[in-house]
Structure 1
Amino acid sequence: MIQAAAKTPVLETARLTLRAFAPQDMEAGVDFLMQPRTRYMGGPFSRAAAWDHCAVQIGHWAIRGYGLFTICLKGTDEAIGDAGLICPGGYHEPELGWGLWSPAHEGQGFAHEAALAVRAHAYRDLGWSTLISYIDPDNARSIALAKRLGCTLDSDAKLPDLPDWEGTLTFRHPGPEALA
């Protein structure tokens, strides 16, 4: 686990540091996943399931070589959310996902800033040409963010082969050529 975390790149933006999930982030991550606000991502989770969910994110880096970054305000090491690239079992292509762990950090552009950094990393450093974001149709804030990122609905994209995904919206990010 520590070895995989050591290979995780660190992304910097004007206000944020995106780094590997670390043991000190576990309690904040678990607390977030137990909140009703995680209903759009399968929550709220029990404490045990939330712990497992956090551990899976660490393992994703070891297996795929990419994953979720922990979002910290620049100059601090306090986790306020996560953003990154995931492609767990059942997915057909990688997803760019994001989440802020407290309402106190919403409405300040942190998720937008983090998503832009992760997307640039995917295109520049990983050489990817496309990305999607799966969003629950009732998640107005994430839909608004996807549109702000220049995403468009992609009704042809295949949903993950997982239960309870019917009705999920797929937003396609503009490719690197469109962003140049």
Structure 2
Amino acid sequence: MTAIPTLITKRLLLRPMSVDDWEPYSALMLSERARYMGGPFSVRAAWGMFCADHAQWDLFGAGALMLEERNNGILLGQVGINSGPLFPEQEIGWLVFPEAEGRGYAFEAAFALLHWAKNVRRLQTLVSYVDPQNDRSRRLAERLGATLDGNAPRPDPTDLVYRHFA
């Protein structure tokens, strides 16, 4: 079992999830903003995803971390490494709440988690599954240095697969 890390960047605290994170997480997952992740989701589905994001730490040694602004503790979103039967490969994904979008938080958090995955967990590769219409996530994956992998398996046949440090 891998201890859930707390990562610190210039502006962010990436910390383990808590039940207090459920309300803002579910608000996003039940909204139209979840469309690029297969949503909007029902409360039941969102709760299952929330619990899986946390449980993956015990099951696979990686999972989700919540993003907080360091100077004021405002919750901004989530970054995580997804594993398990729904994911052909370990996947790094990110989400930011509407009020945090466009400020570079997802890049900062994903960069920190990629660094942890490579240097602490010694993962050889990660992928990001991106809806082809999600321009922001496509640009973010590219900014992180990922390249398109047209031959990679994917959970949704329409997803683009971006490969990190292969």
Alignment partner of 1:118 out of 113, 117, 138: 113
Q: Could you tell me which residue of structure 1 aligns to residue 131 of structure 2? A: 136
In structure 1, what residue type is equivalent to 2:93? G
Confirm whether residue 148 of structure 1 aligns to residue 139 of structure 2: no
Confirm whether residue 166 of structure 1 aligns to residue 157 of structure 2: yes
- Report Cα offsets for 1:68-105 as digits up to 9, x if no partner: 11111113443211102111213221001001022x21
In structure 1, what residue type is equivalent to 2:38? G
Alignment partner of 1:108 out of 86, 103, 111: 103
Structure 2 distance, partners of 1:145, 1:9, is 23
CA RMSD, aligned part only? 1.6
Unaligned segments of structure 1, at least 5 residues: 176-180
**3-state SS, counterpart of residue 98 of structure 1:** strand
Give every structure 1 segment of 4 or more consecutive aligned residues whose post-TM-superposition deviation is greater than 2 Å.
75-79
TM-score (normalizing by structure 1):
0.87
Percent identity (aligned): 37
Structure 2 distance, partners of 1:89, 1:75, is 38
Is the deviation greater in 57-66 or in 31-40?
57-66
Q: CA deviation at 1:57?
A: 1.1
Alignment partner of 2:6 out of 5, 10, 16: 10
Matches within 5 A, 1:6-85: 7-85=3-81
Is the deviation greater in 74-83 or in 13-22?
74-83
Q: CA deviation at 1:142?
A: 0.3
